[in-house]
Structure 1
Amino acid sequence: MMERRQIVQLWRLGGASVMVTLVRVEGSSYRRAGARLLLAQSGEYAGTISGGCLEAEVIRKAAWMVREGARVQRYSTMFDDTAEVPFGLGCGGVVDLLLERADTPECSALMSAMEGTLSGTTAVVVTWLPGEGRALRRVVLVEGAVVFASEGLSEKKIECARGLRANEQYEGRFVEELRAPQRLFVLGAGDDARPLVSMAALMGWSVVVADGRSQLARAERFPAAERVVADGVNSLGIKASDAVVVMTHSYEQDREILTALLPVAPRYFGVLGARHRSSLLLSEAAARIGLSVAACCERIYAPVGLDLGGDGPEAIALAVLAEAQAVCEGRLGASRRLTAEDVARYVNEGGVARYLPQCALDEVR
């Protein structure tokens, strides 16, 4: 999300030249479909479409490649100098990049939608990819309403765009949902909240800090936050899609917060404090709102944060944000660590041969 902010900022400065979008991935890739890079005429750029292995090549040729209009360019990142696709770098996949001029109505509509999401809207962008005599065409829907459609698109195609689902594979089309930044409410403005706010802002999240103690809830203490307010929890408008971290260090305040927010059930609801403290808080809040303790336990993360080790505000902030990120992305509990079974499967089934040169394959075997 921070990348989107940087791309929008560069676009607003003027002089944007080429937008590059990763629209398809086969095999392994550092970035997922939807990753973007915006190139300016000055040579400055924002965003990435790989782990650094493609950027220099794409930036060098981007303006030349779109001289006759938008195009899709395929790049291989496999260990294979004889491949038909032009770039072998060893990352293990094939990617399709959409390159389009930034001065077209289609790109302007995309950029406007990206900018709008930073203010809290959600957009769906349907792009008919160019190729074999077909020009790029695009439909942009914001909150379900069509706000842009390329000239010449039929009503049938526009209506069809409404029914397409983001992240699904469609022949000749790229469909994506541009979501608003994750909102994080940090309830408590003590010194230990400062690194958490800074880290979340680096992720591109929209961070609000709230504390009833006006001497702590000051904007200069949290320059990375979008808002710092000396208000109670009921005035914040917290929704089920939000993330919340409670760190007031005040038992009475925490009890009021849990009483107010447990019925809302935020997407992530972390409560700082020892197990015995959180247990007492939860039992009292549950009695107040008429929910079972078991139901309340399902709605909070306490003790807050992943068990990463370390000590001090920065380490705690990292553990909390890592847990919040995992929960918001639906990935908590999943591990990508290789097992001996994984290695055996790749080697014995020959899957590894796609990615390694023969000399390395011999060593593995």
Structure 2
Amino acid sequence: MLNIADTLDDWCRTHRSFAVATVVQVSGSAPLPLGTSLAVDADGEAVGSISGGCVEAAVYDMCREVLDSGSAPVRARFGYSDSDAFAVGLTCGGVIDVLVQRVVPADMPHLASAFEHAVRGRPVAVAQVVDGPAEFLGGTLHVRPGTDGCAGTLGREQEDREVTERARALLRAGQSALVEIGGDTGTCPQRLSVLVHTNATRPRMLIFGAVDFAGALSEAGRFLGYHVTVCDARPVFATRARFPHADDVVIEWPHRYLENTAVDSRTAVCVLTHDAKFDVPLLALALGLPVGYVGAMGSRRTHEHRETLLREAGVPETRLARLRSPIGLDLGARTPAETALSIVAEIVADTNQGTGVPLSSLTGPIHRLLTDSASLNAAAAA
């Protein structure tokens, strides 16, 4: 839903009712992830996508029907039809469940507020009941960090409290996920599936070493949605002109900067200096922080020498095992741009528990699903 927040914010501001269709469950190989939405307004204007084109027409018609009739939310399943290659379905072989519901901005001001926060780049979560008793289906609430309670309701105070806590944890982890609540006769007798959509602050990429590779890596990191910082102690190299794609260019000793900057489980630390006087104190610190990725550039010989120095500095083996060095995946990279690609490929694979091997050599589903428990474990570490 928040993937099209800019248009939904505009429709709410102009008091235009709309129907929104959201991918609420995925099995097998599907083209777009959980939480992706398509919306249709009263004039028939459509925005977004839920299948990359496979079932868009059918979902569009569902949106028009729900919007025109004012009916309760409707859930439908789409999958590949072996008997008719032209039937409505996913030719990729996956199965998706879609929830379609009508939104009248005047009746759901908490959603309008959530869209506005998302457009402004503020962290926000929207929880949406996607399965359960009819009276709960489509219920939504809006959660922001640093505030008490929530806006909107799922139907009962107990469910609202539990979902608000889970949404805050997912927001800290920067992840959207499907959570299950209820089924406990003593507290929440109704079993509900709730999709938590999150719009978190951008994860950080900290690049240490104002070298040519850092220029290409800062551009790649920015493209992937990171807030990129380039840090180097040498003012002649750490300049805005050399790193136009970085959000911040900092002149400081790397370990001193890292000591005084905020990091979390989504932070990627990329050490490109391959100079022991910078690397050793920086890596000794970074490997003890709750960051998601720590990589260091250098040859295998440089890496072995650096590991020796880190051990002498008292870094335990359990922490050394976290170090990705030489940095990046084996792409046969030579140029700064190719090297940057190998580094961000490793970061993406590490973040999503990917193997980094060619898909053509694997079997089974292409897309991995992040489970609710995995999401909450990541949030707890944040």
Q: Identity of aligned pairs, percent?
A: 25
- Alpha-carbon deviations, 1:136-164, whole Å to 9, x = none? 212333448422123x8332332343576
Q: Equivalent residues in 2 for 1:74-223 (5 A)?
A: 74-80=76-82, 87-100=88-101, 101=103, 103=105, 104-111=108-115, 114=118, 118-119=121-122, 121=123, 123=125, 125-127=127-129, 132=134, 136-143=138-145, 145-150=148-153, 153-162=155-164, 166-168=177-179, 172-176=192-196, 178=198, 179-223=200-244
Task: Extract unaligned runs of 5+ from structure 2.
Answer: 168-176, 182-190, 365-382
The corresponding residue for 1:315 is 338
Q: Equivalent residues in 2 for 1:202-351 (5 A)?
A: 202-233=223-254, 234-236=256-258, 237-241=261-265, 242-264=267-289, 266-288=291-313, 290-292=314-316, 294-332=317-355, 337=360
1:108 maps to a residue whose letter is: A
1: CA distance, partners of 2:358 / 2:126: 30
2: CA distance, partners of 1:201 / 1:180: 14
Q: CA deviation at 1:99?
A: 3.0
Kept in 2: contact 1:66–1:99 (CA 8 A)? no
- Alpha-carbon deviations, 1:315-360, whole Å to 9, x = none? 11111111111212233467755668x7xxxxxxxxxxxxxxxxxx
Q: CA deviation at 1:272?
A: 0.7
Kept in 1: contact 2:131–2:192 (CA 8 A)? yes
1:239 maps to a residue whose letter is: V
Q: CA deviation at 1:169?
A: 5.0
Q: CA deviation at 1:82?
A: 6.9
Count of equivalent residues: 331
Q: Which moved more, 1:53-62 or 1:225-234?
A: 53-62
Q: CA deviation at 1:102?
A: 6.8
The corresponding residue for 2:380 is none
2: CA distance, partners of 1:70 / 1:274: 61
Kept in 2: contact 1:126–1:161 (CA 8 A)? no
Structure 1 residue ranges, 4+ long, deviating more than 6 angstroms after superposition: none
Q: CA deviation at 1:21?
A: 1.8
2: CA distance, partners of 1:284 / 1:82: 64
When the two chains are superposed, the root-mean-square deviation of aligned CA atoms in Å is: 3.8
2:4 maps to a residue whose letter is: I
